[in-house]
Amino acid sequence: MTDPAVIAHRGYAGIEPENTVAAAVAAADHKGTAMIEIDVQPAACGTPVVFHDERLEGTRDGRPVTDASGFVRETSLETLESLSVLGTDESIPTLSALLEAVPETVGINVELKNPGTTELRVGESLPEDDRERRREVWQPFVAHVLEDCETFDGELLFSSFCEGALAALRDAADYAAAPLVWDDLEAGVEIARRYDCEAIHPPRNAIAGTALASEPYYGLSTSEPEIDVVEVAHEEGRAVNVWTVDSWLQFDELAAASVDGIVADYPGLEARTGAGLAR
Ligand code: G3P
Ligand code: MG
């Protein structure tokens, strides 16, 4: 049993308009928050903005995420900053604006979501011949993100489903880095080793020996994981931060499996952890 760090997913998307300044500021205010996870990608001018989807017209529980349509990467910064997120007064913020609003007592987990291209190669451990090209694809955007992060004195952790993003990050700075695992746990472990990452970020059903491993969740299959990623990562000195939980039961299950951090949609899910619950 561990006492995992709580990482607020998109600024606790379960209770706030995701990836907005208001969400980040409110997340920082919750006692248990160690870090705030945000997704970044470029506006048309290349400026990093905080937004999850590559297009503006998606929905959450049937409600439009914004009042516009089109690719984020083809939309002007002025337009993005004037949109309403989930019908609230919050707009899509620049990374700079969000970092400026957040106290440095909490860390930020910057998820490098998209460098402004269509072809992403998500969750893939790249063949050697492709690695340099993929690093180059990400390099300008990652450089811009790093520039925007310079003034933030809190802890920073960069994660990505794309190996190219981590390659570009490692090339440019010494910040902590973590591959996000999609449907291939072994690929994630390989990437973590290749870039000597400080952490690995598997999905919540990737943790061996937990009840969650047999539950469907995004890319990973529901069979018992072949790799005990907690054991392997800890042996290699890496932290394991798991995404994304929305109940105290999930939090408790993962804490019992000794993970180091848990990305959560709601604050307070850690409240019952370790309270002698029967399993
Ligand atoms: O970083 C964890 C989690 O945010 C990854 O999935 O799709 O919510 O960005 P997603
Ligand atoms: Mg994310």
Atom of ligand 1 at shortest range from CA of 111 = 1
Record: fold of 5-54+93-272: TIM Barrel (3.20.20)
- Choose among 259, 235, 275: nearest CA to 3: 259
From ligand 1's centre to the CA of 38, what distance in Å?
8
Ligand nearest to the CA of 262: 1
DSSP state of 201: B
pTM of this structure: 0.97
What is the CA(144)–ligand 2 centre distance, in A? 19
Ligand 1 pocket: which of 52, 111, 112, 254 to mutate (most atoms within 8 A of CB): 111
Q: How confident is the model at residue 277 (pLDDT cuts 50, 70, 90)?
A: low
For ligand 2, a single-atom ion, which residues have Cβ within 5 Å? 39, 111
Q: pLDDT tens digit string along 126-148?
A: 999 999 999 999 999 999 999 99
DSSP 220: B
Ligand 1 atom 7: the closest Cα is on which residue?
Answer: 52
Q: What CA–CA distance (Å, rounded) separates 80 from 136?
A: 26
Residue 279 has pLDDT above 70, yes or no: no
What pLDDT does 275 receive?
62
Mean pLDDT of 84-107: 98
pLDDT greater than 60 at residue 166: yes
Residue 51 has pLDDT above 60, yes or no: yes
Burial 207-226 (b: 16+ CB within 10 A, else e): bbebebbeeeeeebeeeebe
Q: Which atom of ligand 1 is nearest to the CA of 9?
A: 4
CA atoms within 13 A on the CB side of 4: 34
Secondary structure (3-state) at 64: strand
CA distance 50 to 132: 26
Average of per-residue pLDDT across 51-65 = 97
Ligand 1 pocket, residues with Cβ under 6 angstroms: 9, 37, 39, 52, 111, 159, 180, 201, 243-244, 263
Closest residue by Cα to atom 10, ligand 1, is 52
DSSP annotation of 270 reads T
Nearest-CA residue for ligand 1 atom 6 is 243
Q: How do residues 197-253 score in pLDDT, each as one tens digit?
A: 999 999 999 999 999 999 999 888 888 888 999 999 999 999 999 999 999 999 999
Residue boundaries of the structural domains of the chain? 5-54+93-272
Report the Cα–Cα distance between both ends of the chain, in Å, rounded. 13
- 162 and 122 in contact (C-beta within 8 Å)? yes
Q: What is the mean pLDDT of residues 171-182?
A: 97
Residue of higher predicted confidence among 182 and 274: 182
Distance 243 CA to ligand 1 centre (A): 7
Centre of ligand 2 from the C-alpha of residue 247, in Å: 18
Query: Cα(240)–Cα(260) distance, rounded to whole angstroms?
Result: 5
